[in-house]
Amino acid sequence: MDESVTRRRALFLGGAAVGIAGCIGTDDGTESNDDGDGTGDGAPDGAGGGQDGSDDGTDAEVPLQNVPDSIALDTLVDGLQAPVGIEFSPDSERAYVLEQGGRILALDGSGSLLDSPVLDLREPIVAGGERGLLGLALHPEFASNRQAFVRYSAPSREGTPDGYDHTFVLASFEATEDGTSFRRESEQTILEIPEPQSNHNAGDLAFGPDGYLYVPVGDGGAGDDQGAGHVDDWYGEVAGGNGQDVTENLLGSLLRLDIDGGDPYAIPDDNPLVGEAGRDEHYAWGFRNPWRISFDAGGDGTDLYVADVGQSSYEEVNLVEAGGNYGWNVREGAHCFQTESCPSRTPDDVRGGEPLLDPVVEYPHSGGEVTGVSVIGGHVYRGAAIDGLGGVYVFGDFAPRGKLFASAPGEGGSTWPIRTIAIDGASVESLYAFGQDGEGECYALGSGANGGTVWRLGPAE
């Protein structure tokens, strides 16, 4: 292990030890939502039947009135290489940190980094830009079955068309009893998806309260959901795209898989396209690059947040429902994409005229009180360390220096207000991801003064 990696003691709250809890570029010279071509016309505000997007977070803030003005980011570990994910064992004895270049590292219950990686996939991985080791989820029964699920970018495999950039691989690994290693020889491929371009790969994995695995997949890359590897859809005003197609590939969608019911997986009986035209794996669609997703750990745990990185004008967070169509590339956020006007639903002959659903959270790249360039999805805070934050969705933006946001339903209108939270006590260059532990406390991952860093969110002094 690199000696520059700092070992940190466990953080404590109220005298009791708290278990360690909680793209973008493999050298911390990370990227935002660049499509390579740099193009993509932003749509005019309010066009096409969507919401006008004018809520700048200054009104209807009753749920946000107690949110603190600033939050401390306390360093848990630094000196990492592009940390893009963190996952926690059920007993809080291990926290697993993903480096985009291909390593999974582990922190023990005292906050110390183990000397050897838990898993090293640098050899088979295609890294750089938005590719690499992108997601990890532990099986809900991890304590007994030791199954860990990993997604990564691999060189083009059999079945990937000539000229495509790489293959997205979802695989399972078996962890040792002490959780210090994921056995390399135990790898079982669950799913492979041909990726036509190097970007818009999405990246997260999450098990829902139903026990199924949710897998966000980007639209295939390049720009505008167009070009090689992008199919034609029902909407003729804008070329493309995979976001609106559910029949020819699995791109631009959120997938829902029954990992336990088949080999390598089964389809849940209540997936929305079962018995209908389309690939049964689809759970929701109309996404561009849904980089990070999360379930709210409070209540019944079914609220599913999907943060979708925008093209050139708007960033969005969606509260996702089964069979929901979130608009890309007819719309970017709640706005028409590249046109003066656009439909608010599909034609009757396309899945019965389903509505194009607006995000619950949206902010522009410029011209608003809250702005950013690439949304980084977070979590609904359910911890006890930070007063006034309970029940609030905490997320951020990749933007240089990083930005931290809070949002919750407001009064009047379906677009939620947003507040910017000042970052106290940390030098942040960019934010990559968030994590949450079993106590509901939240963590941020990104680049800081000492390289890739994992921070714990806490009260400002």
The DSSP output letter for 66 is T
Structural domain contains residue 301: yes
Structural domain contains residue 453: no
Count structural domains, the chain.
1
Structural domain contains residue 418: no
CA distance linking residue 432 with residue 190, whole number of Å = 26
Task: Tally the residues of the chain.
Answer: 461
Structural domain contains residue 105: yes
* pLDDT for 7 beyond 90: no
Structural domain contains residue 97: yes
Which tens digits make up the pLDDT trace of 238-279?
A: 998 899 999 999 999 999 999 999 999 999 999 999 999 999
Q: pLDDT-derived band of residue 59, with 50, 70 and 90 as boundaries?
A: very low
Residue % of the chain over a pLDDT of 90? 80
CA distance linking residue 308 with residue 290, whole number of Å = 4
**Could you tell me the residue range of the domain that residue 227 belongs to?**
12-41+79-368
3-class SS of residue 266 = strand
Q: What CATH number corresponds to the domain at position 198? A: 2.120.10.30
The mean pLDDT of 75-84, rounded to a whole number, is 97
Which tens digits make up the pLDDT trace of 142-155?
A: 999 999 999 999 99
The DSSP output letter for 156 is P
* Phi, psi of 62, rounded to the nearest 5 degrees: -55, -45
CA distance linking residue 164 with residue 310, whole number of Å = 23
What DSSP string describes 296-320?
-SSTTS--EEEEE--SSSEEEEEEE
3-class SS of residue 409 = coil
Render the burial of 273-296: b for 16+ CB within 10 Å, e for the rest. beeeebbbbbbbbbbbbbbbbbbb
Give residue 299's pLDDT: 81
Whole-prediction pTM value?
0.89
118 neighbors 96 (Cβ within 8 angstroms)? yes
The mean pLDDT of 109-122, rounded to a whole number, is 93
Structural domain contains residue 436: no
123 neighbors 157 (Cβ within 8 angstroms)? no
Mean pLDDT, all residues of the chain: 88
Beta pairing partners, 1: none
Beta pairing partners, 428: 448
CA distance linking residue 401 with residue 256, whole number of Å = 34
Q: List, in sequence order, every beta strand (DSSP E) within 202-291.
A: 206-207, 213-217, 253-257, 282-285
Structural domain contains residue 207: yes
Q: pLDDT-derived band of residue 453, with 50, 70 and 90 as boundaries?
A: very high
The DSSP output letter for 157 is P
Give residue 1's pLDDT: 44
Render the burial of 311-336: b for 16+ CB within 10 Å, e for the rest. bbbbbbbbbbeebbbbbbbbbbbbbb
The mean pLDDT of 28-56, rounded to a whole number, is 36
CA distance linking residue 425 with residue 71, whole number of Å = 9
CA distance linking residue 166 with residue 331, whole number of Å = 27
79 neighbors 428 (Cβ within 8 angstroms)? no
Which tens digits make up the pLDDT trace of 346-401?
A: 999 999 999 999 999 999 999 999 999 999 999 999 999 999 999 999 999 998 88
Higher pLDDT, 31 or 167: 167
Structural domain contains residue 425: no
* SS3 track for 4-18: CCCCCCCCEECCEEC
Determine how many CB atoms are found less than 10 A away from the CB of residue 211.
14
Give residue 93's pLDDT: 86
CA dihedral 421→84→196→231, nearest 10 degrees, is: -40
Q: pLDDT-derived band of residue 218, with 50, 70 and 90 as boundaries?
A: very high
* pLDDT for 55 beyond 50: no
* pLDDT for 18 beyond 50: no
Q: pLDDT-derived band of residue 111, with 50, 70 and 90 as boundaries?
A: confident
Which tens digits make up the pLDDT trace of 315-356?
A: 999 999 999 999 999 999 999 999 999 999 999 999 999 999
444 neighbors 396 (Cβ within 8 angstroms)? yes
